[in-house]
Amino acid sequence: MTRHLEVRRGAYHDSVTLMQVSREVAERDDVDAVLVAMATELNLDLLADLGFSRPPDAAPNDLVVAVSVSDPAALDTALAAVDAALDRRRRPDPGGAEVEAPPRTVAAAARRADADLALVSTPGRVAILDAVDAVDAGLDVMIFSDNVPLSDEVALKDRAAERGVLVMGPDCGTAVLGGVGLGFANVTRPGPVGIVAASGTGAQHLMCLLDDVGIGIAHCLGVGGRDLSAAVGGRSALAALRRLDAAPEVELIVLVSKPASPEVAAALAARARELSTPVLMAVLGPGSPDLTAVAAEIAAHVGRPFPPTRRWGPDTPAARPGRLRGLFAGGTLCHEAMLVLADGLGEVASNIPLAGQPQVGPDDDATGHLLLDFGDDQLTAGRPHPMIDPRPRLARLRRELADPACAVVLLDVVLGHAAHPDPAAELAPFIAAASVPVVASVIGTRDDPQGRDRQAAALAAAGAIAHASNAAAAREAMALVGTRR
Amino acid sequence: MNAPERVIAAGAEVLAESLDRQQVDVDRVDWTPPPAGVEDALARVALDPRRRDANALALARMNAAGAVVVDARPAAAALGLERGHFLHAGPPITWERASGPLRGALVGAAMLEGLADDPAAAEHLFASGALSWEPCHHRGAVGPMAGVVSPSMWVFELLDPGSGRRAWCTLNEGLGTVLRYGAYSPDVIERLRWMGAVVGPTLRAAIRARGELDVRAIIAQMLQMGDEGHNRNRSGTLLVLAEWLPHLLRSGRSQDELADVVAFVAGNGHFFLNLCMPACKLAATAAGDIPGSSVVTTMARNGTDFGIQLSGTGDAWHTGPARVPDGLYLGGFGPADANPDIGDSAITETAGIGGFAMATAPAIVGFVGGTVRDAFATTRRMHDICVGENPAWALPAMDFRGTPTAIDATLVVRSGQLPQINTGIAGSVAGTGQVGAGLVNPPMECFTTAVEALAARAPARE
């Protein structure tokens, strides 16, 4: 085996691009392992896992190229493939004849041309810099990045209120503005519903369920997962509610949130009553309706029928003893599943546990029921979201399917813009080879690039049970866990 | 509410591509991480609620500052410079760390003042501490290259009529073997004596007779005539000479003296630099001392250190090692002969001209780096690190867009784009003089330490 490790100083590429490069080169037959990544602590650990020694003086702004090949002759072609893949992903050369060099900051970009909005997905430690640029330039901004310090979020939102602009995020995965999806967003038809979302996948799920019954979306304004916390106090949610209230195309506003500070939720509900547009509050929590029930409520409000949600795959198999293991890309979907399971299964451990439930680390072995959120901040620092890069979840799936104590695996499969182009194809081989039943919720629409029905059918063909409703998927998975007590 | 038609995207390419596929125009930011360790300081400064208005005010004050030349007189009177005390370019420096050209210029000035008979004696006086020196900037003055000012040297006095603030700069000696490049041979000292005896008094008569002459208006004109105000001042020189000429002719000086003075001014394409610099100094100073502002108010080099000052950090110098310029060399000189960057003349870039106005000076692009296209790219790049522009200094070739004005240190650090400075190159050995001219950038260190100092004065990030 030949190992090659080099550090390229100051050669920055974003983590998604590097993941694509690594994946492309790893697919070569003559390459055993490859990691092309910025030299963050996390990536240096991954390097060690691949059997490389840590380069002593690599800094987070340096690029590490690590390749191992069994045939030494293959090394040069593998490295050439790395360079070719990096080159291909670079933007068109700005040094060319009449092309102006691209701006290096949002401030510079905003000065050059009148944009409608800024979308910031730079690393969380510094995302605030370009977000402030946008606010100072009078632009609405969506901050996709997570791991932004809480006090920065509060300060930014206060400044945005002064400037009359909207801050969507940080940790805002989803927004839809007049049919244009930003971040992770499904292709939905236009319609009368406006959504304010302190939950990316929660909003996606709601929009997909509504799309399925022919109810369209005017806008979905994400506000970030922490907006309804006591510290942030719903600053962006209030601004977003007022925005939607002022939009004549919005006939019903839905505020969907992960579990929130009760005081903040109550205060927002009070402000919502002052608006001229009716507002439906959908704050997830024990005793609150799940997202599918919320969708049904919206359908009733706009006078549309809400038939039972779709299901694909084999008949429900017999329950078997053991434990349920849920592996999620969507935080709110994970949360919703835990709320569904809490009634039937008792103790469910998680890296984002419900109140009173055990907390586990994301890499810990499980003995009981377990639900993991792979999109949690802790797991996304310095690497792409699991909806883009399925590898961490696939590795865990392999581990759970091999665990004799595992009775059923519950998954979410989130489709739409910016998500993986074919998640079912990544999951299918594992599902087909498994003896443990797999239940998956498929969050998407017919018009999504991946095609919701095609993805569900592919999962079903591999032997999985697929649901259009995440709550329904959780309930069926729970039913497959035999003899509890 | 409408669907966005144009979105600025910074970060993950996959999110920008998703907008491409939805037929949304995407302005991609070519984002790179800031230098490690300065992230927290940048965030603190960015979130300082005073910063935006403070920088807007700094830009407005820079643009509103006036600059009229009101007098020429000896530095002893104008600056209160005592015998045995000297001014120099750049941030403060000890004799031990002073570069060859700075030492050479100080030695020459000591001989000019009659404090020493030969270079060795002069060096001893400086090394022993018998003579003292401080930056020009500490007295509101600026000096090109070594920037040495001694009491008997004549200086131009410029006034900002709005504020009453004044700035000073010596008379330009010409090119080649001159004191400001560190030369101190007898012909150098002889020329300085003649300038003090003849050029200074003659110009003073014309300046006083002409009355307040608006230097900023001449800069506006020269920028439309192919001068960038740092490495090319040819039209500015002729414009100012034309203003003074009638008054020179009526000054009562002898015809021979007048002919010598006019030939001296007209024959030195850099003569106007020493009026351009104090005009820029008045603009930069007007933008100073605004709490929370990240605007650069000084860039200056002493041949060893590059130092900058920020509006929001007052008189503090933020320094780093001066770099050796990249350029073209005179005669048999080459890069090995070059001293690191020196001079207060980067005050021109601080006020938005010089390298920042490269797009207007195609005649010197070969001299300072490359093609005309490079010149346009340079000015555009400088716009990206500035708070705004100066509409009074409009560049025809850029569709009359104003010069990039008020450098924001945080944008320099975040973008990695350093201010572009056009400069002369001094020989590294004392007494050599000019060896070339070219381009140089400040070290990034100046800007990172400046941002850290500004962050220390900003409200704490919880």
Largest CA distance in chain B: 80
The stretch B190-199 carries a mean pLDDT of 97
What three-state secondary structure class fits A335?
Answer: helix
Q: Which pLDDT does position B37 carry in this prediction?
A: 94
Q: Phi and psi for B134 in degrees, rounded to 5?
A: -155, 165
Given pLDDT bands bounded at 50, 70 and 90, which one contains residue B157? Answer: very high
pLDDT tens per residue across span A356-398: 999 999 888 888 999 999 988 788 777 788 998 899 999 999 9
Kindly state whether A116 is in contact with chain B, defined as any CB-CB distance less than 8 angstroms: yes
Kindly state whether A245 is in contact with chain B, defined as any CB-CB distance less than 8 angstroms: no
Tokens of B208: 């006083």
Q: pLDDT averaged over consecutive 10-residue blocks of chain A (485 residues)? A: 88 79 86 88 82 85 90 90 81 52 96 95 94 97 94 96 96 95 95 95 97 97 96 98 97 95 96 97 93 97 96 92 95 95 91 93 89 88 84 93 95 95 96 95 96 97 98 96 62
Residues of chain A contacting residue B5, judged by C-beta atoms under 8 Å apart: 116
Which B residues, 128 through 147, put their C-beta within 8 Å of a C-beta on chain A? none
pLDDT tens per residue across span B287-315: 999 999 999 999 999 999 999 999 999 99
Contact call for residues B126 and B93 (beta carbons, < 8 A)? no
Q: DSSP states of A406-432 as a string?
A: EEEEEEEEE-SBTS-S-HHHHHHHHHH
**In whole angstroms, what is the distance from residue B456 CA to residue A434 CA?**
58
**In whole angstroms, what is the distance from residue A469 CA to residue A212 CA?**
11
Kindly state whether B414 is in contact with chain A, defined as any CB-CB distance less than 8 angstroms: yes
Which B residues, 211 through 240, put their C-beta within 8 Å of a C-beta on chain A? none
What does the mean pLDDT of chain B come to?
A: 95
Counted across chains A and B, CB pairs separated by less than 8 A come out at: 192
Residues A122, B10: C-beta atoms closer than 8 Å: yes
Q: Which pLDDT does position A263 carry in this prediction?
A: 97
Which A residues, 52 through 71, put their C-beta within 8 Å of a C-beta on chain B? 59-61
Residues of chain B contacting residue A417, judged by C-beta atoms under 8 Å apart: 18, 21-22
* Element of type H or E holding B187: helix B186-194
Place of tokens 């198999």: A317
Tokens of A137: 């330039």
Tokens of B135: 């930056």
The H-assigned helical ranges of B287-435 are 347-350, 372-384, 409-415
Tokens of B196: 């003090």
Kindly state whether B10 is in contact with chain A, defined as any CB-CB distance less than 8 angstroms: yes
Q: pTM for the complete prediction?
A: 0.88
- Cα distance from N-terminal residue to C-terminal residue, chain A: 51
| Prediction ipTM score | 0.93
Interface test with A, best of B2, B17, B29, B376 (most A CBs within 10 A): B29
Q: Tell me, rounded to whole angstroms, the distance of Cα B314 from its chain centroid.
A: 18
Q: Which pLDDT does position B397 carry in this prediction?
A: 92
Tokens of B312: 């929001």
CA-to-CA dists, residue B358 to A184, B95, B202, B224, B269, angstroms: 44, 35, 34, 12, 17
What three-state secondary structure class fits B396?
Answer: helix
Interface test with A, best of B17, B25, B26, B31 (most A CBs within 10 A): B31
Q: Which pLDDT does position A99 carry in this prediction?
A: 59
Place of tokens 């909207």: A166
Residues B15, A121: C-beta atoms closer than 8 Å: yes
Residues A129, B416: C-beta atoms closer than 8 Å: no
pLDDT tens per residue across span A77-98: 999 999 888 887 655 444 445 4
Contact call for residues B287 and B64 (beta carbons, < 8 A)? no
Using CB atoms, which residue from A102, A129, A183 is nearest to B15?
Answer: A183
Given pLDDT bands bounded at 50, 70 and 90, which one contains residue B368? Answer: low
Cα torsion A355, A359, A362, A364 to 10°: value is -150
Q: Tell me, rounded to whole angstroms, the distance of Cα A368 from its chain centroid.
A: 26
Task: Please give the angle made by the CA atoms of A168, A173 and A176, to the nearest 5 degrees.
Answer: 70
Cα torsion A129, A133, A135, A141 to 10°: value is -70
Residues A107, B411: C-beta atoms closer than 8 Å: yes
Interface test with A, best of B2, B5, B15 (most A CBs within 10 A): B15
Decide: residue A472, CB within 10 A, 0-12 exposed, 13-18 middle, 19+ buried: buried
Residues B8, A109: C-beta atoms closer than 8 Å: yes
Which residues lie below 8 Å from residue B424, measured CB to CB, with a gap of 6+?
Answer: B144, B145, B181, B231, B343, B345, B434, B436, B437
Q: Which pLDDT does position A59 carry in this prediction?
A: 84
Residues of chain B contacting residue A129, judged by C-beta atoms under 8 Å apart: 34, 42-43, 46, 410, 414
Q: Which residue has the higher pLDDT, A484 or B281?
A: B281
**Closest approach of A5 to chain B, Cα-based (Å):** 22
Kindly state whether A136 is in contact with chain B, defined as any CB-CB distance less than 8 angstroms: yes
Strands A140-143 and A117-120 come out as: parallel
Kindly state whether A179 is in contact with chain B, defined as any CB-CB distance less than 8 angstroms: yes
